[in-house]
Amino acid sequence: MQMRSQTGEELQSLAGSFIASLMPGTQATLITLSGELGAGKTTFAQGIARVLGVTETVTSPTFVIEKVYDLRDSPPAGGWERLVHIDAYRLNSSHELEVLGWKELLADEQNLIVLEWPERVADIIPPGAHALRFDIENEERIITINGQENRQ
């Protein structure tokens, strides 16, 4: 499925509708965001955070790798307890994500994990992840949901 957005604001609204179509399962819900720098991955993650009631400013976790937002005091949107926003851009191997507790994160169905740059850690992406790809066409962004990446 493909969608287009003309502005960052529109992309955030798309993120809101997308997340409304998901719900917690038996493991963490994982959304992977692929695309070059500036393609809109972080903007999309901000849209997810907004619709889930996160009031903190969501900034790119490029330098800290991972940021966790508590959703328990938020209005009941979605049903997850935590939003975990990860940017694997600076990681050199999936091992670096494993030492951050990746397995435990995945095992907890209360986690909604949004992962930028999944290509950096491709070998530890479980089947069943929601794979989104962002392509730039001038000021437009083309979002492809569940393309070929992450399929096993």
Ligand X SMILES: Nc1ncnc2c1ncn2[C@@H]1O[C@H](COP(=O)(O)OP(=O)(O)O)[C@@H](O)[C@H]1O
Binding interface with ligand X (CB under 6 A): 5-8, 11, 35, 37-43, 60, 116, 139-141
Contacting Mg ion within 107-136 (CB under 5 A)? 116
The candidate with the shortest Cα–Cα distance to 72, out of 34, 28, 110, is 110
The partner residues of 3 in beta bridges, in order of sequence, read 143
Binds 6, which of ligand X, Mg ion, none (CB < 5 to 8 A, cut-off by type)?
ligand X
Going by the DSSP 8-state scheme, the letter that residue 57 receives in this structure is -
Assigned token pair, 78: 């979605």
Q: Closest approach of Cβ 52 to ligand X, in Å?
A: 17
Residues in contact with 17: Cβ distance below 8 Å, sequence separation at least 6, in sequence order = none
| Residue 55, amino acid | T
8 belongs to the binding site for Mg ion (CB under 5 A) = no
Q: Tell me whether residue 124 or residue 142 sits nearer to ligand X (CB atom).
A: 142
Q: Tell me whether residue 109 or residue 135 sits nearer to ligand X (CB atom).
A: 135
Contacting Mg ion within 28-67 (CB under 5 A)? 41-42, 60
Q: Tell me whether residue 60 or residue 144 sits nearer to Mg ion (CB atom).
A: 60
Q: Tell me whether residue 29 or residue 34 sits nearer to Mg ion (CB atom).
A: 34
The candidate with the shortest Cα–Cα distance to 80, out of 124, 116, 49, 43, is 49
Binds 13, which of ligand X, Mg ion, none (CB < 5 to 8 A, cut-off by type)?
none
- Measured CA to CA in angstroms, residue 36 lies from 30, 39, 116, 119, 126 at distances of 20, 5, 10, 11, 22
Sites of contact with Mg ion (CB under 5 A): 41-42, 60, 116
